Structure 1
Amino acid sequence: MRLVASDIDGTILGHDGKISDRTVRAFHACREAGVELVFVTGRPPRWLHPLEEQLSHTGTVICSNGAVVWDLEAARLVSAQTLALEAVFETRRIIKQLRPSALFAAETLSGFHLEPGFIENESSELLSEFTPAPLARTLKADDAVVKFLAVVRDGTADAFLAQVGPAVAHLAAATHSAPNMAMLELSVPGVNKAVTLAEYAKSLGIAAADVVAFGDMPNDIEMLRWAGDGYAMASGHPEAIRAAGQQAPHFDDDGVAQVLEAKLAELGLKL
């Protein structure tokens, strides 16, 4: 175990915005043992404060499902892979044909653009700073889109993905991570958490066999398959569990911490 790569939401961070004390101790113990830590998330850089405030993490974070690499300490963009606006609007057109009720949003390197109605609860704290407006009006030629979002209010994310994913695959790679919402996350074809994590690990001279990865949703599948030790949370999506082949205990039971404690014990280290 030379590198621990962990998803954030539903893996180490609860709906209350908290990382448990036990999990914090486990990550600190890894750091003290010389194990590299990297967090791999669907979140954009502006939503990484739990890592700084609760884990005192100052290293690299792979954001937006692999589309962005962010230096947390320097608050600096390291790299980004962006969707062309033509691809964004053509993807929107195709999805609208298939699901006329779909609503859309775009995560860019400089902000967030959302259509009216995209947020069901307009008082959402995380998005309240952004004013809904048609994307055709707010997205400009110099906007670098790292993640395109599509949501419908009926059905499941799995069914939505199965319906529209193949139709837009030539334009954007689709996945999902919201547990209770039929929302798809689309990025540049060929970009996912595993691809960017592999590049990062290679830059450190670390092979996949020495990587322990944790995740819970379909956007973690490629990463869990790539890592030498991939663990899906027992509380996670069935597809993630099948892909990983190994389970960490349920999120409510500090599953990530339990696995890390066992691995540190194998190295003769105690928390």
Structure 2
Amino acid sequence: MVASDLDGTIIRADGTISPRTIEAFKHARESGMHIVFVTGRPVRWLEPVRAAFGHLGTVICSNGAVLYDLETERLLSAETIEPELLIETRRIILHAEPSATFAAETTRGLHLGSGFADSAETSRIQTFDALDLRSESLREEGVVKFLAKSRTRNADDFMAAVAADLDHLVSVTHSAFDVSLLEMAHVDVNKSVALAAYAAGLGIDPGEVVAFGDMPNDLQMLAWAGHGYAMASGHASALDAAAYRAPGVEDDGVACILEGILARNGHVPEPG
């Protein structure tokens, strides 16, 4: 099995996936390997994957909270957070970071709190609801990821300020290079938990999994996989967690590693 993060791993800074990477994944699938993309992105942000690969593989979204079948465009499962826990989570975060702003991803869309997105971001998002943690609609839709943004601390410092007080309520991580954004899910959810369950369902053990990632939300997945590769361009914590290192995303690092694996197993693509 190949399990790959998206942003900063195969999606480059300009938002594209290179032709070489696309070909490497297609050859891996043709060789008989299962392909699963494991991302912090919600289902509504999978268009780059569709554009590059069509309906190839399965996607674990929202840092492990959602399992989505890209081949049939069907939600398979979702782990949600009770709104009461979100209210307490928000209280704890505001105590440490009074200017924090919030948003929530549900199984159906995005709910934005006041001040979370500026006007330019709001216009790009287009479709969203106002965030009300006490609303019945939020409970009915099911929150799969709760977001908190700081404009006064970097992401590592923001997480350090609140993580210990939140660990009994939600799982906490971050994955954005350019914004201080905490990503929270059900307390038992992370990428490795979802990936392990998915692999077990296919009869695949960790030693048969090669995984790629670059940020703190990839740590558990990189440690769990028998062959965990951190991108050379990634966060220091990812580089520390992984047993192996791949070249950076701009250097087609995932493609480099996959091509080597395929060649060693005798699956050399035909010219052209």
Same fold by TM-score, threshold 0.5 exceeded? yes
Give 1:170's aligned amino acid: H
Q: Is the partner of 1:142 in helix, strand or coil? A: helix
Residue 14 of structure 1: how far off its partner (Å):
1.6
Q: 1:245 aligns with which of 243, 246, 262?
A: 243
Q: Is the partner of 2:140 in helix, strand or coil? A: coil
Q: Distance in 2 between matches of 1:109 and 1:218?
A: 23
CA contact (8 A) 1:24 1:55 kept: yes
Q: How does 1:73-222 map to 2 (within 5 A)?
A: 73-123=71-121, 126-130=124-128, 132=130, 135-136=133-134, 140-222=138-220
Q: Distance in 2 between matches of 1:139 and 1:148?
A: 15
Residue 99 of structure 1: how far off its partner (Å):
0.6
Q: 2:225 aligns with which of 227, 236, 253?
A: 227
Residue 135 of structure 1: how far off its partner (Å):
4.6
Q: Is the partner of 1:122 in helix, strand or coil? A: helix
CA contact (8 A) 1:214 1:224 kept: yes
Q: Distance in 1 between matches of 2:61 and 2:102?
A: 20
CA contact (8 A) 2:34 2:57 kept: no
More off after superposition, 127-136 vs 176-185: 127-136
Query: Deviations 1:245-267 (Å, cap 9, x if unpaired)?
Result: 21100111100000011111111
Q: 2:46 aligns with which of 45, 48, 52?
A: 48
Give 2:214's aligned amino acid: D
TM-score normalised by L of structure 1: 0.95
Is 1:30 equivalent to 2:23 in the alignment? Answer: no
Q: How does 1:49-64 map to 2 (within 5 A)?
A: 49-64=47-62
Q: Is the partner of 1:70 in helix, strand or coil? A: strand
Q: Distance in 2 between matches of 1:124 and 1:100?
A: 22
Q: Is the partner of 1:141 in helix, strand or coil? A: helix
Q: Is the partner of 1:200 in helix, strand or coil? A: helix
CA contact (8 A) 1:213 1:224 kept: yes
Q: Distance in 1 between matches of 2:75 and 2:113?
A: 26
Query: Deviations 1:220-249 (Å, cap 9, x if unpaired)?
Result: 000000000000000000000100021100
Q: Distance in 1 between matches of 2:34 and 2:130?
A: 40
Residue 116 of structure 1: how far off its partner (Å):
1.9
Q: Is the partner of 2:157 in helix, strand or coil? A: helix
Query: Deviations 1:44-77 (Å, cap 9, x if unpaired)?
Result: 1111121121112333111100000011122211
Residue 268 of structure 1: how far off its partner (Å):
1.7
CA contact (8 A) 2:110 2:129 kept: no
Query: Deviations 1:158-200 (Å, cap 9, x if unpaired)?
Result: 1111110111111111000011111100011121000010011
- Structure 2 residue aligned with 1:266: 264
RMSD value, Cα: 1.6
CA contact (8 A) 1:106 1:113 kept: yes
Give 2:72's aligned amino acid: A
TM-score normalised by L of structure 2: 0.94
Q: Is the partner of 1:222 in helix, strand or coil? A: helix
CA contact (8 A) 2:35 2:56 kept: no
What runs of 5+ residues in structure 2 fail to find an aligned partner?
none
Q: Distance in 1 between matches of 2:165 and 2:268?
A: 51
Residue 133 of structure 1: how far off its partner (Å):
5.2
CA contact (8 A) 1:113 1:138 kept: no
Residue 16 of structure 1: how far off its partner (Å):
2.0
Residue 128 of structure 1: how far off its partner (Å):
2.7
Give 1:202's aligned amino acid: A
Give 1:7's aligned amino acid: D
